Amino acid sequence: MSDVFVPSKPLHVPMAIEELPTDWRWSRLDDVCEAVYDCPHSTPLLTNDGPLVVRSQDIRSSVFRVHEAAHVSEETYLERVGRAEPRRGDLLYSREGTYFGIAAEVPENVRVCLGQRMVLIRPKADLLNFRYLRFWLNSPSLSQHIHGHRDGTVAERLNLPTIRGLPVAVPPLLRQEAIANVLGTLDDKIELNRQINETLETMARAVFRSWFVDFEPVRAKTEIRKPDGLDAATAKLFPDKFEESSLGPVPKGWRVVPLPEAIEVNPRRPLPKGVVAPYLDMGNRPTISARATKWELREGGSGARFINGDVLLARITPCLENGKTAFVDFLPDGQGGWGSTEYIVFRSKQPLPDEYAYFLARSPELRMLAIQNMTGTSGRQRVPAECFSNFCVVVPPDGLAKRFGDLAKVVMSQMKARDEETATLAAIRDALLPKLLSGEVAVADVEQPKDLAKKRRQLC
């Protein structure tokens, strides 16, 4: 190894790693990077389109969620990249807030500038593999280290000198690339699963809206057109006429009813206090997908009760506006769960399928009604369950409801299967990561990712 790895300033080594292999070296981050750039200390004005701006919430999973990021104008972008324009091979690093101390890669062919509380890290390519550095910065060893060196009491944060002085375990470059390849293959599959699930849910939401909100198949039949994307048996389930209702024209024969006549609101679920049961924290509620993938066991207390097939809608600000909604399918058979008192529980009434209530809860129309009916003081507003009596639902015939349920169940089961595979891959990655990054396990000793499941018990 070159003498360049000798720290230029004092270096605090993570206590979790006692000794490195002989051909590894400890280095300060700023000794193996071209630069560590701080963000402009201002809040950028957001726009509807244009280049992206990365904020700490956009990289909470160590992947820059491009589809969730906000936009800025071209002028704002140029102002904020004056010192350095993020490029492939750079890392985006959060220095403050709920998601501080997390690194993500700059994606290919994406123009992005730094939002507040963000740092740009540019490693020296001949010394440090950028993907290896991402894994190192997100490792449990370094996470434990930075929590002992953070600043602030109310808002957790890292100052720039602390970031520049972060310790990096630096193996030979070829070893870095091999480690990054093994861990990156697992991460890529995890991210692919997430993208597929997102696509599946987007398609299911589009079908729900087409059939039950916009009535597109009925409109097609009234215009003597073949409904797009429907087989003959499904198309036959839609009428070819509209009729007037309190909501305006609706498909002939469909019922218009207040929501509580089609959806049970806050149904009673037996779960005595003190009984240990799955607990879903508000923080683990998904914002843009159906499935909650993290929960814990707790003794039952005051809060909402639910069973598989129920839908959980956040009723408090800002969780409602942020989209926190979940379809419950993670409980063992016959087991009840519980969560915050700030949940509203929906349950489809027969013959509507369970999934109907979920997609209805995700509809902009229902969410707007809920937001408009929030009461309470600023910052503590919540939705009264009674407001849903003022929301009307157009109920389809039994056969069509069943057809949608069959389709939705396939989508939900496929999403669940991918999430379960992701959990296994993440457990393997998390078991491998500290061992690879400390040199305890050599890359040559690790099988290909498709065979890693067999190693899980040995690595944990």
Q: Which of 344, 362, 395 is the last residue of a domain?
A: 395
Tell how strand 46-54 and strand 112-114 pair up. parallel
Question: Residue 398: which residues within 8 A CB-CB, separation 6 or more?
Answer: 351
Model confidence over 175-209: pLDDT tens digits? 999 999 999 999 999 999 999 999 999 999 999 99
Domain boundary among 153, 168, 183: 168
**Based on the structure, what is the number of domains in the chain?**
3
Same domain, 338 and 423: no
Q: Output the pTM of the full model.
A: 0.82
- pLDDT, tens digit, 9 for 90 and up, residues 416-429: 999 999 999 999 99
Domain residue limits at 417? 172-241+400-460
424/383 same-domain check: no
Phi-psi category of residue 98: left, alpha or beta, with phi > 0 → left and psi -120 to 50 → alpha: alpha
Kindly state whether residues 319 and 438 are assigned to the same domain: no
Cα dihedral value 14, 20, 26, 32, nearest 10: -110
pLDDT at 449: 47
Using the predicted structure, report yes or no on whether residue 85 has a pLDDT greater than 60: yes
In a domain, residue 144? The reply is yes
Let me know if residue 249 belongs to a domain: no
Does the structure show a pLDDT above 50 at 457? no
Looking at 377, 395, 413, which one is the last position of a domain?
395
Joined together, the tokens standing for residue 108 give 């290919």
pLDDT at residue 18 above 90? Answer: no
pLDDT score, position 445: 62
Which pLDDT score, from 0 to 100, does residue 4 have?
Answer: 36
pLDDT 10s digits, 248-294 = 999 999 999 999 999 999 999 888 888 899 999 988 888 888 999 88
CA-based nearest residue to 430, from 187, 91, 173: 187
Residues 418 and 453 in one domain: yes
Average pLDDT value for the chain? 88
**339, 407: one domain:** no
> Rounded to the nearest 10 degrees, how much is the dihedral formed by the CA atoms of 443, 447, 449, 452?
-110
Alpha-helical (H) ranges within 138-225 are 140-147, 160-164, 173-212, 216-222
Interatomic CA distance for residues 161 and 328, integer angstroms: 45
